[in-house]
């Protein structure tokens, strides 16, 4: 019983349950938006698509492929509405926040995790981070660029 309680109260399961409930409600919201606004606009342009009359018969079985086509077209319209009304604006908003984050963070060259600019060691892979200086300085030569040695030494 203790294991079951631990399983039920695990964060992932609760998050999944919340996502399903919110997703179901969001689906109803999108359907309502499409039925209330998009379908009437399409009806003004060329009528509401209804392909339910398209069928074919093989033997005694009737295949209503028109119903599938109507549902597929409704799905594509709803997906376009979700993309252009919700996904694109949210992506642009997140991009604005990303620009602010980019000024304070960089990616680790070893593991590609986002880390603060001032970090000297990556918290994920623990690699030592080197600042991106244009040229290394050689202290023995008085502070000039480090000499490059050829294969002959």
Q: How far apart are CA 113 and CA 121, in angstroms?
A: 12
Say how many Å lie between the first and final Cα of the chain, rounded.
72
- The model's pTM is 0.49
- Mean pLDDT, the chain, integer: 78
| pLDDT tens by residue, 55-65 | 999 999 999 88
| pLDDT tens by residue, 62-105 | 998 888 888 888 888 888 888 998 889 999 988 888 776 657 78
Rg (CA), the chain: 30
């Amino acid at each position: 019983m203790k294991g079951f309680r631990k399983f039920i109260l695990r964060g992932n399961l609760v998050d999944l349950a919340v996502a399903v409930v919110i997703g179901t409600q969001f689906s109803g919201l999108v359907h309502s938006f499409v039925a209330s606004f998009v379908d009437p606009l399409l009806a003004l342009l060329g009528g509401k698509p209804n392909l339910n009359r398209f069928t074919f018969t093989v033997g005694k079985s009737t295949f209503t492929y028109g119903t599938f086509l109507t549902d597929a077209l409704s799905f594509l319209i709803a997906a376009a509405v979700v993309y252009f009304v919700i996904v694109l604006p949210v992506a642009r908003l997140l991009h604005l926040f990303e620009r602010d984050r980019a000024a304070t963070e960089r990616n680790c060259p070893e593991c590609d995790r986002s880390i603060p600019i001032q970090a000297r060691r990556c918290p994920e892979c623990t690699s030592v981070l080197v600042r991106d200086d244009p040229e290394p300085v050689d202290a023995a030569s008085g502070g000039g660029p480090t000499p490059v040695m050829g294969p002959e030494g």
